[in-house]
Amino acid sequence: MTVSAAPDETPGRQPEPGLRADAERNRDRILAAARRLYATEGLGVSMASVAREAGVGKATLSRRFASREDLITAVFADRMDAYAVAVAEALADPDSWHGFTGYLHAVCAMQAADRGFADVLTMTFPAAKALESRRAEAYHGFVELIGHAQDSGRLRPDFTPEDLVVLLMANAGVVAATADAAPDTWRRLVGHMIRAYATPGTEVPPLPDGPTPTALYRAMIRLGRPGNG
Protein backbone atom coordinates (compact mmCIF):
# COMPACT_ATOMS: atom_id res chain seq x y z
CA MET A 1 0.00 0.00 0.00
CA THR A 2 1.34 3.42 -0.95
CA VAL A 3 1.16 6.13 1.71
CA SER A 4 0.84 9.66 0.38
CA ALA A 5 2.86 12.42 1.96
CA ALA A 6 1.10 15.30 3.64
CA PRO A 7 0.58 18.28 1.28
CA ASP A 8 3.36 20.26 2.94
CA GLU A 9 5.74 17.31 3.00
CA THR A 10 5.60 15.99 -0.60
CA PRO A 11 9.08 14.74 -1.57
CA GLY A 12 10.80 16.64 -4.32
CA ARG A 13 8.86 19.87 -4.17
CA GLN A 14 8.59 22.87 -1.92
CA PRO A 15 5.35 23.43 0.01
CA GLU A 16 3.05 26.09 -1.42
CA PRO A 17 3.36 29.51 0.28
CA GLY A 18 -0.03 29.15 1.95
CA LEU A 19 0.90 25.79 3.39
CA ARG A 20 4.24 27.12 4.62
CA ALA A 21 2.45 29.98 6.35
CA ASP A 22 0.01 27.58 7.99
CA ALA A 23 2.86 25.41 9.22
CA GLU A 24 4.68 28.44 10.63
CA ARG A 25 1.52 29.63 12.38
CA ASN A 26 1.02 26.20 13.90
CA ARG A 27 4.61 26.18 15.13
CA ASP A 28 4.19 29.61 16.70
CA ARG A 29 0.94 28.55 18.39
CA ILE A 30 2.58 25.43 19.77
CA LEU A 31 5.55 27.36 21.14
CA ALA A 32 3.30 30.01 22.71
CA ALA A 33 1.12 27.34 24.31
CA ALA A 34 4.11 25.41 25.62
CA ARG A 35 5.62 28.59 27.09
CA ARG A 36 2.39 29.38 28.93
CA LEU A 37 2.00 25.89 30.33
CA TYR A 38 5.65 25.36 31.23
CA ALA A 39 5.85 28.78 32.90
CA THR A 40 2.93 28.09 35.22
CA GLU A 41 3.01 24.32 35.64
CA GLY A 42 6.60 23.24 35.00
CA LEU A 43 7.92 20.63 32.60
CA GLY A 44 5.54 17.92 33.81
CA VAL A 45 3.00 19.10 31.25
CA SER A 46 2.25 16.42 28.66
CA MET A 47 2.64 16.87 24.92
CA ALA A 48 -1.10 16.18 24.59
CA SER A 49 -1.82 19.11 26.93
CA VAL A 50 0.38 21.36 24.81
CA ALA A 51 -1.49 20.31 21.68
CA ARG A 52 -4.85 21.06 23.31
CA GLU A 53 -3.65 24.45 24.58
CA ALA A 54 -2.38 25.30 21.09
CA GLY A 55 -5.57 24.12 19.40
CA VAL A 56 -3.77 21.66 17.13
CA GLY A 57 -3.85 17.91 16.72
CA LYS A 58 -1.23 15.58 18.12
CA ALA A 59 -0.06 14.77 14.59
CA THR A 60 0.55 18.44 13.87
CA LEU A 61 2.52 18.78 17.10
CA SER A 62 4.61 15.72 16.21
CA ARG A 63 5.39 17.08 12.74
CA ARG A 64 6.69 20.32 14.20
CA PHE A 65 8.42 18.79 17.22
CA ALA A 66 9.25 15.11 17.04
CA SER A 67 10.06 14.78 20.74
CA ARG A 68 9.56 16.49 24.08
CA GLU A 69 13.25 17.45 24.06
CA ASP A 70 12.85 19.19 20.69
CA LEU A 71 9.97 21.25 22.06
CA ILE A 72 11.79 22.13 25.28
CA THR A 73 14.87 23.19 23.30
CA ALA A 74 12.81 25.50 21.10
CA VAL A 75 10.82 26.99 23.98
CA PHE A 76 13.85 27.73 26.15
CA ALA A 77 16.43 28.66 23.51
CA ASP A 78 16.28 32.36 24.38
CA ARG A 79 16.43 31.68 28.12
CA MET A 80 19.44 29.42 27.73
CA ASP A 81 21.10 32.20 25.76
CA ALA A 82 20.34 34.62 28.61
CA TYR A 83 21.72 32.07 31.08
CA ALA A 84 25.02 31.94 29.21
CA VAL A 85 25.10 35.73 28.84
CA ALA A 86 24.57 36.18 32.60
CA VAL A 87 27.78 34.36 33.45
CA ALA A 88 29.71 36.26 30.76
CA GLU A 89 28.52 39.55 32.28
CA ALA A 90 29.49 38.33 35.76
CA LEU A 91 32.98 37.46 34.53
CA ALA A 92 33.30 40.95 33.05
CA ASP A 93 32.57 42.57 36.43
CA PRO A 94 35.85 43.99 37.81
CA ASP A 95 34.63 43.05 41.32
CA SER A 96 34.61 39.24 41.22
CA TRP A 97 32.57 38.89 44.43
CA HIS A 98 29.95 41.30 43.13
CA GLY A 99 29.92 39.41 39.85
CA PHE A 100 29.47 36.13 41.68
CA THR A 101 26.59 37.28 43.89
CA GLY A 102 24.99 39.15 40.98
CA TYR A 103 25.06 35.96 38.92
CA LEU A 104 23.34 33.97 41.65
CA HIS A 105 20.60 36.57 41.88
CA ALA A 106 20.20 36.74 38.10
CA VAL A 107 19.88 32.98 37.60
CA CYS A 108 17.54 32.48 40.55
CA ALA A 109 15.40 35.37 39.25
CA MET A 110 15.16 33.56 35.90
CA GLN A 111 13.88 30.52 37.76
CA ALA A 112 11.36 32.59 39.71
CA ALA A 113 10.00 34.13 36.50
CA ASP A 114 9.36 30.78 34.81
CA ARG A 115 8.70 27.44 36.52
CA GLY A 116 9.60 25.61 33.35
CA PHE A 117 13.01 27.22 33.25
CA ALA A 118 13.42 26.46 36.94
CA ASP A 119 13.01 22.81 35.96
CA VAL A 120 15.35 23.10 32.96
CA LEU A 121 18.19 24.30 35.16
CA THR A 122 17.88 21.30 37.48
CA MET A 123 17.49 18.58 34.83
CA THR A 124 19.55 17.24 31.95
CA PHE A 125 18.36 16.44 28.42
CA PRO A 126 21.03 14.34 26.69
CA ALA A 127 19.12 14.29 23.41
CA ALA A 128 18.80 18.10 23.33
CA LYS A 129 22.28 18.88 22.04
CA ALA A 130 21.82 22.64 21.54
CA LEU A 131 20.37 23.14 25.00
CA GLU A 132 23.08 21.08 26.67
CA SER A 133 25.77 22.93 24.73
CA ARG A 134 24.56 26.25 26.16
CA ARG A 135 24.38 24.72 29.63
CA ALA A 136 27.98 23.49 29.32
CA GLU A 137 29.11 26.93 28.17
CA ALA A 138 27.49 28.55 31.20
CA TYR A 139 28.91 25.88 33.51
CA HIS A 140 32.50 26.43 32.37
CA GLY A 141 32.06 30.17 32.77
CA PHE A 142 30.74 29.67 36.28
CA VAL A 143 33.74 27.51 37.19
CA GLU A 144 35.98 30.39 36.11
CA LEU A 145 33.85 32.84 38.10
CA ILE A 146 34.22 30.70 41.23
CA GLY A 147 38.00 30.76 40.87
CA HIS A 148 38.08 34.55 40.60
CA ALA A 149 35.79 35.03 43.61
CA GLN A 150 37.85 32.59 45.68
CA ASP A 151 41.07 34.31 44.66
CA SER A 152 39.60 37.55 46.01
CA GLY A 153 39.35 35.89 49.43
CA ARG A 154 35.62 36.57 49.75
CA LEU A 155 34.17 33.26 48.53
CA ARG A 156 34.71 30.23 50.73
CA PRO A 157 37.52 28.02 49.39
CA ASP A 158 35.34 24.94 49.78
CA PHE A 159 32.56 26.25 47.51
CA THR A 160 32.18 24.00 44.44
CA PRO A 161 30.19 24.19 41.18
CA GLU A 162 27.91 21.48 42.57
CA ASP A 163 26.83 23.94 45.25
CA LEU A 164 25.18 26.00 42.53
CA VAL A 165 23.21 22.95 41.42
CA VAL A 166 22.08 22.43 45.01
CA LEU A 167 21.02 26.09 45.22
CA LEU A 168 19.08 25.86 41.96
CA MET A 169 17.32 22.69 43.12
CA ALA A 170 16.39 24.35 46.41
CA ASN A 171 15.26 27.51 44.63
CA ALA A 172 13.15 25.53 42.17
CA GLY A 173 11.35 23.95 45.10
CA VAL A 174 10.81 27.30 46.82
CA VAL A 175 9.54 28.87 43.59
CA ALA A 176 7.10 26.02 43.00
CA ALA A 177 5.83 26.12 46.58
CA THR A 178 5.46 29.87 47.03
CA ALA A 179 4.96 31.36 43.55
CA ASP A 180 1.29 32.20 44.11
CA ALA A 181 1.24 33.07 47.79
CA ALA A 182 4.68 34.59 48.43
CA PRO A 183 6.47 35.11 45.10
CA ASP A 184 9.52 36.89 46.54
CA THR A 185 10.43 34.14 49.01
CA TRP A 186 13.27 32.98 46.75
CA ARG A 187 15.10 36.25 47.44
CA ARG A 188 15.30 35.36 51.14
CA LEU A 189 16.73 31.94 50.29
CA VAL A 190 19.40 33.42 48.03
CA GLY A 191 20.28 36.01 50.66
CA HIS A 192 20.84 33.32 53.28
CA MET A 193 22.91 31.21 50.89
CA ILE A 194 25.16 34.11 49.90
CA ARG A 195 25.89 34.64 53.60
CA ALA A 196 26.77 30.96 53.88
CA TYR A 197 29.11 31.15 50.88
CA ALA A 198 30.97 34.28 52.06
CA THR A 199 34.18 34.09 54.07
CA PRO A 200 34.13 35.69 57.54
CA GLY A 201 34.28 39.47 57.36
CA THR A 202 33.04 39.70 53.77
CA GLU A 203 30.44 42.38 53.19
CA VAL A 204 27.17 40.82 52.05
CA PRO A 205 23.96 42.40 50.75
CA PRO A 206 21.18 43.08 53.27
CA LEU A 207 18.97 40.06 53.87
CA PRO A 208 15.64 40.49 52.04
CA ASP A 209 12.44 40.30 54.03
CA GLY A 210 10.97 36.85 54.41
CA PRO A 211 7.36 35.86 53.67
CA THR A 212 4.70 36.81 56.17
CA PRO A 213 3.27 34.00 58.31
CA THR A 214 -0.04 34.33 56.47
CA ALA A 215 1.56 34.08 53.02
CA LEU A 216 3.65 31.11 54.07
CA TYR A 217 0.58 29.40 55.52
CA ARG A 218 -1.27 29.88 52.22
CA ALA A 219 1.67 28.31 50.39
CA MET A 220 1.62 25.35 52.78
CA ILE A 221 -2.14 24.92 52.28
CA ARG A 222 -1.63 24.89 48.52
CA LEU A 223 1.07 22.24 48.80
CA GLY A 224 -1.25 20.06 50.84
CA ARG A 225 -3.87 19.92 48.11
CA PRO A 226 -4.05 16.80 45.91
CA GLY A 227 -2.00 17.15 42.74
CA ASN A 228 0.53 19.58 44.20
CA GLY A 229 4.08 18.45 44.88
Identify the structural domains of the chain with CATH numbers, from first to last. 16-75 (1.10.10.60), 77-223 (1.10.357)
Give 180-195 pLDDT, tens digit per residue: 889 999 999 999 999 9
- Residue 198 DSSP class: B
Q: What is the pLDDT of residue 20?
A: 76
- Rounded Cα–Cα distance for residues 65 and 195 (Å): 43
CA distances from residue 61 to 9, 65, 203 in whole angstroms, order as listed = 15, 6, 51
Residue 60 reports pLDDT greater than 60:
yes
The span from the CA of 116 to the CA of 220, in Å, is 21
Q: Tell me: pLDDT of 87 over 90.
A: yes
- CA 83 from centre of chain: 9
pLDDT of residue 11 exceeding 50, the answer is no
Where residue 143 falls among pLDDT bands split at 50, 70, 90? very high
Q: How many CB atoms lie within 10 A of CB 16?
A: 12
pLDDT, position 18: 53
Q: Band of the pLDDT at 32, cuts 50, 70, 90? A: very high
Mean pLDDT of 107-119: 89
Instruction: List, as one string, the DSSP characters of 58-109.
Output: HHHHHHH-SSHHHHHHHHTHHHHHHHHHHHHHHHH-SSHHHHHHHHHHHHHH
Averaged over 159-187, what is the pLDDT?
92
Structure confidence at residue 7 (pLDDT): 44
Which of these ranges, 100-109, 113-122, 182-191, has the smallest mean pLDDT? 113-122
Residue 125's pLDDT is 84
Contacts with 16 (C-beta within 8 Å, 6 or more apart), sequence order: 7, 8
Q: Is the dihedral of CA 171, 177, 179, 183 positive or negative?
A: negative
| pLDDT over 70 percentage in the chain | 90
Per DSSP, the three-state class of 155 is strand
The band of 10, judged by pLDDT with boundaries at 50, 70 and 90, is: very low
Q: How confident is the model at residue 133 (pLDDT cuts 50, 70, 90)?
A: confident
Inter-residue long-range contacts of 120-129, CB under 8 Å, 24+ positions, other chains counted: 120/43, 120/72, 120/76, 120/79, 120/80, 121/83, 121/168, 121/172, 122/165, 122/168, 122/169, 122/172, 123/43, 125/69, 125/72, 125/73, 127/67, 127/69, 128/69, 128/70, 128/72, 128/73
Classify residue 15 by burial, with Cβ atoms within 10 Å: 0-12, 13-18, 19+: middle
Q: What is the mean pLDDT of the chain?
A: 87
Q: What percent of the chain has pLDDT over 90?
A: 59
Give the pLDDT mean for 53-75.
Answer: 92
pTM equals 0.79
